[in-house]
Amino acid sequence: MPSLPSKSKRLLLATGLITVVLAFSSVYLVHYYGETRPTVAQPDAGRTHAATIHSRTVYLTSGEYALAFGSHALTILAMGVLLGLLLRSRPGKDPAQISP
């Protein structure tokens, strides 16, 4: 069975590492927000975006809200890229030729 070229292995490893770091960072961020943000809206401080985290409603600023959703979106995108690279790297299997 032929092994993957060195560049492909490095690309898979780097993509996998980035995906894991993004996933852990995203989960950590949400838990951090859930533990440290106020449970009452503070319009004067810009904390108007309600987010329910583990049955607890906290209020985030627009920037925090965007960062939370952005980090999730990047994680999902990275997972999709990693999955695509893994499917393409399978020896003897061309994903375009896999029948449903």
Amino acid (one-letter) located at 74:
L
pLDDT value at 4 more than 60: no
Q: Give the CA distances from residue 38 to residues 19, 27, 66, 72, in Å, rounded to whole numbers and listed in that order.
A: 30, 19, 17, 22
**Measured distance CA(7)–CA(61) in Å, rounded:** 42
pLDDT value at 87 more than 60: yes
pLDDT in tens, 22-79: 999 999 999 999 999 999 999 999 999 999 998 999 999 999 999 999 999 999 999 9
